[in-house]
Protein backbone atom coordinates (compact mmCIF):
# COMPACT_ATOMS: atom_id res chain seq x y z
CA UNK A 1 0.00 0.00 0.00
CA UNK A 2 1.14 3.50 -0.79
CA UNK A 3 1.38 5.87 2.18
CA UNK A 4 2.27 9.53 1.72
CA UNK A 5 3.95 10.86 4.84
CA UNK A 6 6.23 13.68 5.90
CA UNK A 7 6.79 16.42 8.41
CA UNK A 8 6.01 20.07 8.52
CA UNK A 9 7.28 22.90 10.64
CA UNK A 10 5.79 26.20 11.54
CA UNK A 11 6.50 29.10 13.85
CA UNK A 12 3.92 29.86 16.47
CA UNK A 13 4.06 33.25 18.20
CA UNK A 14 3.10 32.90 21.85
CA UNK A 15 3.28 36.41 23.22
CA UNK A 16 4.71 39.81 22.46
CA UNK A 17 7.66 40.98 24.54
CA UNK A 18 7.24 44.65 23.65
CA UNK A 19 9.89 46.85 22.11
CA UNK A 20 13.41 45.54 22.61
CA UNK A 21 16.75 46.19 20.98
CA UNK A 22 17.66 43.33 18.69
CA UNK A 23 21.20 42.00 19.31
CA UNK A 24 21.60 41.31 15.61
CA UNK A 25 20.20 44.29 13.69
CA UNK A 26 20.26 46.81 16.60
CA UNK A 27 16.79 48.07 15.78
CA UNK A 28 14.24 48.67 18.49
CA UNK A 29 11.35 46.53 17.34
CA UNK A 30 8.53 44.58 18.90
CA UNK A 31 9.97 41.14 19.50
CA UNK A 32 7.96 38.10 20.36
CA UNK A 33 8.29 34.82 22.12
CA UNK A 34 7.91 32.05 19.57
CA UNK A 35 8.10 28.29 19.26
CA UNK A 36 8.90 26.21 16.25
CA UNK A 37 6.47 23.35 16.09
CA UNK A 38 6.97 20.26 14.03
CA UNK A 39 4.28 17.81 13.07
CA UNK A 40 4.36 14.40 11.48
CA UNK A 41 1.84 14.13 8.69
CA UNK A 42 0.19 11.28 6.88
CA UNK A 43 -1.50 12.31 3.63
CA UNK A 44 -0.85 15.94 4.66
CA UNK A 45 -2.87 15.55 7.85
CA UNK A 46 -0.90 16.27 11.05
CA UNK A 47 -0.94 13.18 13.25
CA UNK A 48 1.11 14.38 16.18
CA UNK A 49 3.18 17.42 16.93
CA UNK A 50 5.97 18.54 19.18
CA UNK A 51 7.95 21.67 19.94
CA UNK A 52 11.44 21.70 18.42
CA UNK A 53 12.76 25.16 19.30
CA UNK A 54 11.92 27.96 21.68
CA UNK A 55 13.11 31.42 20.79
CA UNK A 56 12.83 35.18 20.84
CA UNK A 57 11.97 36.18 17.32
CA UNK A 58 12.86 39.51 15.69
CA UNK A 59 10.42 40.40 12.88
CA UNK A 60 12.84 42.99 11.51
CA UNK A 61 15.78 40.77 10.54
CA UNK A 62 14.22 37.38 11.18
CA UNK A 63 16.85 36.37 13.72
CA UNK A 64 15.86 34.10 16.55
CA UNK A 65 17.63 33.81 19.89
CA UNK A 66 17.31 30.27 21.17
CA UNK A 67 15.98 29.69 24.66
CA UNK A 68 15.97 26.67 26.90
CA UNK A 69 12.70 25.21 28.11
CA UNK A 70 13.03 26.81 31.58
CA UNK A 71 14.03 30.24 30.21
CA UNK A 72 11.04 30.11 27.94
CA UNK A 73 8.67 29.32 30.79
CA UNK A 74 10.06 32.21 32.84
CA UNK A 75 9.60 34.68 30.00
CA UNK A 76 6.12 33.47 29.22
CA UNK A 77 5.05 33.99 32.83
CA UNK A 78 6.65 37.44 33.23
ZN1 LIG B 1 16.66 42.07 14.39
pLDDT at 77: 87
Q: Distance from the CA of 31 to the center of ligand 1, in angstroms?
A: 8
Q: Which residues surround ligand 1, an ion (CB under 5 A)?
A: 22, 24-25, 58, 60-61
Q: Distance from the CA of 76 to the center of ligand 1, in angstroms?
A: 20
Q: Distance from the CA of 27 to the center of ligand 1, in angstroms?
A: 6
Long-range contacts of 43-49 (CB under 8 A, 24+ apart): 43/3, 43/4, 43/5, 44/4, 44/6, 46/8
Helix, strand, coil percent content, the chain, rounded in steps of 5: 10, 65, 25
Q: What is the pLDDT of residues 28-72, one digit of tens each?
A: 999 999 999 999 999 999 999 999 999 999 988 988 899 999 999
Q: Helical H runs in the chain?
A: 69-77
Rounded Cα distance, 23 and 20, in Å:
9
pTM for this entry: 0.74
Amino acid sequence: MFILYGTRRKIKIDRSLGNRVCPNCHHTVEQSLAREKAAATIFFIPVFGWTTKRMIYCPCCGTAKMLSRSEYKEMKKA
